[in-house]
């Protein structure tokens, strides 16, 4: 394994001291080390990966120094436009190091949402003509690779990528871990909401642990899973999926179970939701102020006035709650008024070590969900 401390020191020795990106489970150890050791103005956790490329581009033009953009390979899609239309050598020729976690690497076991992205990651970089290396698991070789990649990026003035396989980095635990004192966990708050839904309500649940918790709660209650669309990939797009459903099923309440990181990632969708004045749209944001599913790095969730943003976008009602009684009252209240409505539930960072994963495939989830949405009996 490769020491994350030595990786960070290698970047610093080579004049690379600015980091931005979106946390990834394969990069959680290096991301944690950067979070603990880089000055706050030298480390920006971006709203999404494309935004991180933009931040890095601005940094390079202002400083003349090479930045690092880190991401999971599933976020590579968010970077295609700025990499090709901004940073590419045929446009502005902006150098940067892309540090990419390789989820779904062929031949390794991974979740279904990572399989296709894992298969095409190297091909996608090749198609974009971005030079890349796969970081070696031998520490001496890996540090030499990083040095050579930095030199090449500076000399050619184009983006270069470093691909990180599973278990490449040694362990490192985030020292300045985000914490809060809210009384309920996300799972406890989610159960309260589910317990007060109607039988014909439609749920779209966001990427990460929230969907896994929802799946397990339906199992505990002895219910099926047809009412819930589990957005196992495509982070930040659950609100858009719910929008498409709400438009076409105006007689049914559609609930988007969102997370703070996902909410921030593609917040622009709120402008469409508000503009369309969808009376049946119910937006529930479970805000713990952290990217908990991929290492616990902080988000800006607690720095935002989410209800005020919602109302400014045209939502008819928005409120922040954290106590059990408040949550139940808020859920009951929005069922009696026209939307779009939003409930921000502030929750503590806490999830079970034994949390499982859905036992149904994405295709099975989609097919049963579509039957439920379209009123087809089992």
Each residue's pLDDT tens digit, 230-261: 998 899 999 999 999 999 999 999 999 999 99
Residue 295 in this model has a pLDDT that exceeds 80: no
Residue 377 in this model has a pLDDT that exceeds 60: no
Each residue's pLDDT tens digit, 51-95: 999 999 999 999 999 999 999 999 999 999 999 999 999 999 999
10-19, 172-181, 330-339, range with the lowest pLDDT: 172-181
Is the same domain home to 17 and 151? yes
- Say if 378 falls within a structural domain: no
Is the same domain home to 65 and 133? yes
Q: What is the pLDDT of residue 283?
A: 98
Nearest Cα to Cα of residue 24 among 97, 80, 76, 67: 76
Instruction: Give the domain extent around 296.
Output: 186-373
- Say if 112 falls within a structural domain: yes
Is the same domain home to 206 and 328? yes
Place 376 in a pLDDT band, splitting at 50, 70 and 90. low
- Say if 172 falls within a structural domain: no
Residue 175 in this model has a pLDDT that exceeds 90: no
Buried residues in 71-101 as b, exposed as e (16+ CB within 10 A): bbbbbbebbeebbeebbbeeeeebbbbbbbb
Is the same domain home to 154 and 191? no
> Could you tell me if residue 82 is left (phi over 0), alpha (psi between -120 and 50 degrees) or otherwise beta?
alpha
Per-residue pLDDT averaged across 164-173, rounded?
A: 95
**What's 108's domain CATH number?**
3.40.50.970
Is the same domain home to 112 and 191? no
Is the same domain home to 148 and 202? no
For the beta sheet containing 281-287, the strands, ordered from the edge strand earlier in sequence to the opposite edge, are 228-230, 202-205, 254-259, 281-287, 341-346, 317-321
Query: For residue 150, what are the CA distances in angstroms to 9, 135, 168, 179?
Result: 13, 13, 19, 35
Picking from 129, 164, 199, the residue at the C-terminal end of a domain is 164
Q: What is the pLDDT of residue 378?
A: 45
Is the same domain home to 114 and 39? yes
pTM: predicted TM-score of the whole model, two decimal places: 0.93
Count of domains for the chain: 2
Residue 361 in this model has a pLDDT that exceeds 70: yes
Each residue's pLDDT tens digit, 216-232: 999 999 999 999 999 98
> Mean pLDDT across the chain, nearest whole number?
95
Pairing status of strand 290-291 against strand 297-298:
antiparallel
Is the same domain home to 229 and 352? yes
Q: What is the pLDDT of residue 291?
A: 87
Each residue's pLDDT tens digit, 110-155: 888 899 999 999 999 999 999 999 999 999 999 999 999 999 999 9
Each residue's pLDDT tens digit, 256-288: 999 999 999 999 999 999 999 999 999 999 999
Contact status, residue 151 vs residue 181, Cβ threshold 8 Å? no
Is the same domain home to 157 and 19? yes
Query: For residue 372, what are the CA distances in angstroms to 173, 265, 313?
Result: 43, 29, 30
Is the same domain home to 159 and 194? no
């Amino acid at each position: 394994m490769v020491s994350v401390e030595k990786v960070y020191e290698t970047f610093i020795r080579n004049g690379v001291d600015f980091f931005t990106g979106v946390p990834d489970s394969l990069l959680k150890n290096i991301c944690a080390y950067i979070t603990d050791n880089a000055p706050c103005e030298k480390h920006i956790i971006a709203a999404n990966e494309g935004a991180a490329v933009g931040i890095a581009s601005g940094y390079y033009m202002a400083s003349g120094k090479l930045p690092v953009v880190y991401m999971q390979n599933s976020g590579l899609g968010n970077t295609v436009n700025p990499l090709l239309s901004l940073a590419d050598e045929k446009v502005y020729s902006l150098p940067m190091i892309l540090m990419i976690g390789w989820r779904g690497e062929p031949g390794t076991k991974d979740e279904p949402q990572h399989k296709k992205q894992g298969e095409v990651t190297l091909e996608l970089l090749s198609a974009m003509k971005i030079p890349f290396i796969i970081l070696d698991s031998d520490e001496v070789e890996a540090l030499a690779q990083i040095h050579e990649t930095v030199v090449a990026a500076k000399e050619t003035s184009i983006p270069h990528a470093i691909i990180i396989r599973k278990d490449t980095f040694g362990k490192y635990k985030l020292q300045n871990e985000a914490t809060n004192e809210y009384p309920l966990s996300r799972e406890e708050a989610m159960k309260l909401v589910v317990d007060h839904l109607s039988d014909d309500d439609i749920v779209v649940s966001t990427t990460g642990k929230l969907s896994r918790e929802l799946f397990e709660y339906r199992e505990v209650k002895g219910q099926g899973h047809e009412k819930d669309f589990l957005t196992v990939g495509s982070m930040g797009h659950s609100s858009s999926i719910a929008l498409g459903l709400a438009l076409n099923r105006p007689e049914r309440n559609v609930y988007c179970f969102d997370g703070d990181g996902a909410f921030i990632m593609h917040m622009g969708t709120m402008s469409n939701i508000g503009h369309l004045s969808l009376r049946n749209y119910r937006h529930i944001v479970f805000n713990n102020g952290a990217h908990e599913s991929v290492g616990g790095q902080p988000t800006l969730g607690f720095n935002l006035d989410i209800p005020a943003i919602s109302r400014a976008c045209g939502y008819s009602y928005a409120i922040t709650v954290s106590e059990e009684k408040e949550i139940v009252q808020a859920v009951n209240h929005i069922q009696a008024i026209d939307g779009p409505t939003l409930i921000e539930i502030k929750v503590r960072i806490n999830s079970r070590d034994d949390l499982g994963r859905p036992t149904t495939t994405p295709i099975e989830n989609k097919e049963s969900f579509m039957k439920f949405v379209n009123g087809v009996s089992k």
